[in-house]
Amino acid sequence: MDPLTHAVTGATIGQSLTHKPLSRGLLLWLALVGMAPDLDYVLLFISDVAYLKFHRGITHSLLMLPLWCWLFHWLTPNRLSRQLRHLSPIIALVLLSHIILDLTTSFGTMIWSPLSGQRLSWDLLFIIDPLFTACLLLPLLLGLKLKRFRHHCALVGLALGTLYIGLAAVQHQQAIELARTEQPDALEHAALPLPFSPFHWRLIAVQPESIQHAAIDLRPECMDLSSMFPVNLIRRLGAQVDTTGDLHWHSLIRLINKQPIPEQSALAFYLWFARFPVLLDKEPDYVEYGDLRFGAGVPGSRAPFRLRISRRGVHSQAWLIWSDQRITPLPLN
């Protein structure tokens, strides 16, 4: 999730666990603790590849959680720690909330790092979800104005956030069942959250040589949230969806490794990182792949985290493409 959501969640959890109104200084500190696991963004200063390899790794690990809890308890200023008798468990819950919220997205979180590099994801929320953030933020802001009711406002925020995730989980299961009904012979089915609504999903059906995908709106007819966000922004992020009765499936060639490749090669790295890798473009001098998790294959979109392999004569080169202005060379072999 985005840093703002993690910060608001950290402050909300802290205030919900005590009837005593916490000072704004302590709420700010808990908000910073809520964002702290994303300190691994510093990996971007090393390289883009290092970031993708290790982001949401050791700082998001359940195995390392006791260490991070001790560290942030030790770093807490005395004037703040005196406000709470049981600060360590609260810090632990705030850090745990960060891990759980990241698990609800599709990026993947290595909760067993450093023992395992497996990325787990629940595919419930888009990585930036203004509606979910509002469920937590608005009660928190109200609590800052109404000091006597700060604890109750925090409880309301947690309740709203939990209900929102519950709604997303129900819609997610419904989307997967629809994918199974529409594509019964697929090897794997998935439903990825789309922006701005818990009712918008990208259905995935993995076939032996291809990946089928479709965008669905499961929203009841009485609800319309589209007017809350700019139409151009929604289209740019790929949230062009069909209704259940008018579902259009699109097919993309699946990137499959059929031969042994060096572990350090660009292709091996991309196959490890990409969950639904597909062929986006094939020209005489290059091929380009993308990951459906990040909008690859959506008409008109320029998805991040693409892999381009160029072949010109005897010379070959691979690049990791974040955007047209941000391209990182990778070792091909």
Strands 286-291 and 188-193: unpaired
Q: Is the dihedral of CA 49, 53, 55, 59 positive or negative?
A: negative
pLDDT at 39: 96
The arrangement of strands across the sheet holding 286-291 comes to 277-283, 286-291, 306-312, 315-323, 326-330
Would strands 210-217 and 200-206 be described as parallel, antiparallel, or unpaired? antiparallel
- pLDDT of amino acid 222: 52
Q: What is the pLDDT of residue 232?
A: 58
- pLDDT at residue 229, rounded to an integer: 55
DSSP string, 44-80: GGT-HHHHHHHTTSGGG-STTHHHHHHHHHHHS-HHH
Please state, in angstroms and rounded to a whole number, the distance separating the CA atoms of residues 53 and 332: 17
Can you tell me the distance from the alpha carbon of 18 to that of 72, in angstroms, rounded to the nearest whole number? 19
pLDDT at site 228: 58
Residue with tokens 């925020």: 157
Q: What is the pLDDT of residue 314?
A: 66
* Res 226: pLDDT: 54
CA 223, 228, 234, 237 dihedral sign is: negative
**Domain range list for the chain:** 3-166, 175-253, 266-330
* pTM of the predicted protein model: 0.90
CA distances from 137 to 12, 16, 46, 196, 296 (A): 8, 13, 33, 16, 31
Instruction: Report the pLDDT value the prediction gives residue 206, as an integer from 0 to 100.
Output: 97
Q: What pLDDT does residue 212 have?
A: 97
What is the Cα–Cα distance from 8 to 30, expressed in whole angstroms?
9
What are the start-end ranges of the H helices in 203-331? 231-236, 266-273
User: pLDDT value at position 264?
Assistant: 61
DSSP at 127: S
In this prediction, what percent of the chain has a pLDDT beyond 70? 90
What's the pLDDT score for residue 86?
87
Per-residue confidence (pLDDT) for residue 234, from 0 to 100: 52
pLDDT of residue 294: 93
Per-residue confidence (pLDDT) for residue 90, from 0 to 100: 96
Q: Using 70 as the pLDDT threshold, list the residues of the chain that sit under it.
A: 221-240, 244-245, 258-264, 313-314, 332-333
Tokens 């205030």 belong to residue? 15
- Could you read off the pLDDT of 262-272 as tens digits, one per residue? 656 888 889 99
- What are 147-151's contacts with CB under 8 Å, separation 24+? 147/21, 148/21, 150/15, 150/21, 150/22, 151/15, 151/16, 151/18, 151/19, 151/20, 151/21
The type of residue at 325 is Q
The pLDDT of residue 262 is 63
